[in-house]
Structure 1
């Protein structure tokens, strides 16, 4: 508050800071307001800090009924099948007469039925849609050969110096020393050609992975149904052994670099999808609400607010995709993809 002159004495009295309580007292409204903290619900520490699971909120009679059902199923299982009861896997049973007058029973299991259906589907795809796989194989092979020819055409001293300059920009002299040592070691050990092949395979695989993963991550972040559909598929892709991804590439593309690119793509694309989804979902609701208040369209909201704010998380996903592509690029040499994997194997 500014100081006020007294009209009686003309002396400027000392004015103390006036708090909210004094203002309320002057206005006579102090008694009309509830005391501080009134109306607040005091939560116990365990309720306010420890989230309760859905199972903890179920009533007691639910658990009594559930465990009673488990007990009934246990008793019925012992009565019907015994302690080592197996699954009923037989779908059909056929009796065939033999030449000596006997009877041979042929059983067909559920696994045989499903395996036969999968084999027929794969045969149909490889025959009827071979034009698509041949076209993709030609495009991927052309991109790989072009990158390899360009990198091999450039003299190796130029490549070494250029990478050393980039290393200095990133990590100064320590990074320069490590980069020079690694590149010269690879060259003098006669591994330069295979290293170029691995780099070309990585570049193509990472570009395709990012081109596929970013739109899928954005779709999963903006559509809950798509997120629920993609999540179990990504979980399965990340839990499968890496050698499994070589089989579909081998079936659809045959031996060669395109099969290695396809296997690397499947193995490396989940991180960029997951982290793009996570980064966009972690954008604060206040920022999104402010953008809506200014009348932004959904596309403007995505391109000017969500993606820029989620960029660090998205770049972490691209980094993980690059590392996984490098790991899979070595294993891909099993299907004749070439590169450093030939030296390892």
Structure 2
């Protein structure tokens, strides 16, 4: 029988099997060490995530416990304040009424609570990191490759370390959504500040403004339309990740979509998908309209 080594020496022929054994040993060592580390600091991890759990549960209880007509009025008021468009407000109201008609109101409010918390956390994390990247070329060179990895890595992969560290539940899903939704906020904060007219910065320097005064009184106000685009993209990313996060215990519309996939319930999946799309369109139109209003305001100030 011909040898499968193709004339290679025995050591080279055995190299793949040795490599596989080494790889298995390395993976086992890393996985076991990671699990032991998580078990050792489990109390500290629980304490650190408890405020997130409380905040999310409180907001979810508020959204689902408030009478539907009150929530409808509040959401429409927020949409009108952001867009100042009757068309967008009427479209949002029609979509929400359709969601309630098909019995998806409570699940939609649960999803809204998750998206709201994830968006707030993403803004709180992304804004200062984006400012740091805008004010330091060295920081930007470090931060941007990390964002590239975060946005390129498949979203399902986020769930692996999150589940290992935090287990199954709402908070792990929330953390996965935040990881997925934060990069646009960082990128667009960095871009918005760097696009501020150099002449405006020079004028601020001529008036003796400190770096902090330039940031808060000049750069951030002029970059506000771009920042709102970042908020818009963060909301869209959060909604997109909700379905994936349902795999680790997040409820709401994402859980229903996952159940529909597992059980091949076409109608159930379509209706819940429609609800997600309706929310996404309403938020997208309202935030875009708000950004355009800010852009016009900034142009007036420049003039």
- Which category of TM-score, normalised to the shorter sequence, fits these structures? 0.7 to 0.9
Tell me which of 130, 140, 144 is aligned to 1:227. Answer: 140
In the alignment, which residue of structure 1 is the partner of 2:69?
Answer: 157
Question: Which structure 1 residue ranges, 5 or more long, are not aligned?
Answer: 1-81, 83-87, 94-104
Distance 2:113 2:231 in 1: 17
Alpha carbons 2:35, 2:164 under 8 Å: kept: no
Match of 1:135 in 2: 47
| 1:123 aligned to which of 35, 43, 56 | 35
Q: 2:270 is matched with which residue?
A: none
Q: Which structure would you say has the larger Rg?
A: 1
C-alpha distance in 1 between matches for 2:126 and 2:255:
29
Distance in 2 between residues matched to 1:285 and 1:121, nearest whole Å: 51
Aligned counterparts, 1:157-196, within 5 A: 157-168=69-80, 170=83, 172-196=85-109
Partner residue, 2:245:
332
Residue 174 (structure 1) shift = 2.6
Distance in 2, matches of 1:172 and 1:214, equals 28
What is the CA distance between 1:167 and its match in structure 2?
A: 4.2
> In structure 2, what is the Cα distance between the partners aligned to 1:113 and 1:221?
43
- For 1:249-299, what per-residue CA distance to the aligned partner results, in whole angstroms no more than 9, with x for missing partners? 111111100110110011000000011111111112221121112111111
> For the residues of structure 1 that align with 2:22 and 2:215, how far apart are their CA atoms?
47
- In structure 2, the partner of 1:147 is 59
Distance 1:174 1:309, change over 3 A: closer
Return the offset for 1:120: 4.3
Relative to 1, partners in 2 of residues 1:257 and 1:275: Cα closer, same or farther, differing over 3 Å?
same
Q: Helix, strand or coil: the match of 1:305?
A: helix
Is residue 271 from structure 1 mapped to residue 181 from structure 2 by the alignment? no
CA drift of 1:124 comes to 4.0
Gaps of 5+ in 2: 1-5, 7-11, 259-303
Cα distance between partner residues in 2 of 1:227 and 1:167: 34
d(CA) in 2 for partners of 1:117, 1:217: 36
- Measured in 1, the distance between the counterparts of 2:74 and 2:181 equals 28
- For 2:248 and 2:97, the matched residues in 1 are separated by 29
Q: Normalized against structure 1, the TM-score is what?
A: 0.66
Q: Is the 8 Å Cα contact of residues 249 and 258 (structure 1) preserved in structure 2?
A: no
Cα distance change of structure 1 residues 305 and 172 upon mapping to structure 2, 3 Å threshold: closer
- The Cα shift of 1:311 comes to 1.1
Query: What SS does the aligned partner of 2:196 have?
Result: coil
Who is 1:309 aligned against? 222
Partner of 1:34: none
Show the counterpart of 2:255. Answer: 342
Contact 1:260/1:335, CA 8 A, preserved across alignment: yes
| Deviation (angstroms), 1:338 | 0.8
Which has the higher mean CA deviation after the structures are superposed, 168-177 or 220-229?
168-177
Residue aligned with 1:338, SS: coil
User: Among 234, 240, 244, which residue is 2:153 paired with?
Assistant: 240
- Equivalent residue, structure 2, for 1:197: 110
Instruction: Kindly report which structure 2 residues correspond to 1:209-224, keeping only aligned pairs within 5 A, or say none.
Output: 209-224=122-137
Deviations 1:305-337 (A, max 9, x none): 111111111111111011100111122111111
Per-residue deviation, 1:206: 0.9
Task: Identify which of 245, 254, 258 aligns with 2:167.
Answer: 254
> How far off is 1:121 after superposition?
4.5
